[in-house]
Amino acid sequence: MAANTCLLLYLHKNRGDLKFLKNSFRPFADSLIGFEYMVLSLPAFVLFAIHKDFLCMLTTAILVPIIVKVNFRFFDKKRLLQNISIVPNVAFELKSGIRSTIFASSLCVLIGTAFGANIIISVIAIFILTIIFATYNISCESRLMVEVFRLSPHQYLLYKIWRQTVFSLCCLAPINLTFMYFHGSYWYILLFVNAISLIVQTLSICFKYAMYIPNQTLRLNRFLLWGAIGCFFIVYFAPIPVALLVIYYNRAINNLNAYLYVKS
C-alpha cells in the first residue's frame, strides 16, 4: 500500500495536465482524476483481495480522493523555511538541501510515521532519511560563509555537528515516537538505528571539511559515505566508520585552519 500511495503522489505531483483538466472538465475534473487513480491502483486492489487485506483496500480507496485534492503549489519552499528555528539563515547546507529534497524527505517522514506499526518500514524510512540528510554536505559553501562564524576550527565543526544533529532528531521524532508507541520493548533497535544515522551524518560533515574547497561539489564524499554505510551491514566492519570519524575529524580541523583564524 505504501508503494502504491508513493507512486500516486509522485504522479500527481509531476503531471502537467492538472490545470487543463480542471479548466476543461469543471466541476467533474476531480472525479475523473480520482477514477484514473483508482484504475491505476487496480493491481494493488487485486493483491489486497488475494491476501484478504480489506483494511488496505479501504485505506487505499480513502487515500485516492485525498491525493486528488493535494495541491503541491501550496507549499512555498522559501516561505516554509523562513520561520524554522532549527534551520537558521547561516545553515547553508540545510536550507539548500531541504529545498531540493523537501518532497522526498516529507514523504519518508509521513510513511515512516503512518506505517510505524511495521518495524521494517520504520527502519527503512530512517535509513533513507539518513542518506538524504547526509547528502546535504556534498557541496561546499563559499569561503565567506565559513569565515562569517568567527569560530575556531574545533568550535566550527562542533557547531555544524550539533546543528545537523538537532535538525535530524527533530525530523525523525515522529517516526521515533510512533515506533516507541507500537514497539516499546524493542527500544534498543531504535537506539541503534538512530546512533548509526547520527554517525553517518557526522561523518558526512567531517568528510566535507576534511576536503573542503570553496564552492566545489565533493563527489568523492558520496563514495566515502556509501562505503561507511555499507560497513554497518557487516558486523566485522562496523568499527571502521567510527575510526574514520576520528581520523577525518582531525583532518577537518587541520584543513579548516587555512580558513578560520580564531584559536580554540
What would the pLDDT profile of 160-200 be if each residue is shown by its tens digit? 888 888 888 888 999 999 999 898 899 999 999 999 999 99
> What is the pTM assigned to this prediction?
0.65
**Of the candidates 25, 13, 5, 11, the residue with the CA atom closest to the CA atom of residue 74:** 13
Q: What is the pLDDT of residue 167?
A: 87
Q: What is the pLDDT of residue 202?
A: 92
Evaluate if residue 100 carries a pLDDT over 90: no
Give the rounded distance of the alpha carbon of 155 from its chain centre: 26
Average pLDDT over residues 113-130: 90
Grid coordinates representing 170 are: 527533530
Grid coordinates representing 33 are: 482524476
Q: What is the pLDDT of residue 87?
A: 55
Q: What is the pLDDT of residue 163?
A: 86
Digit-coded pLDDT (tens) for 228-256: 888 888 878 888 888 988 999 999 888 88
Q: What is the pLDDT of residue 262?
A: 53
Query: CB neighbours of 60 closer than 8 A, spacing ≥ 6?
Result: 1, 4, 5, 41, 44, 45, 48
Share of the chain above pLDDT 70, in %: 88
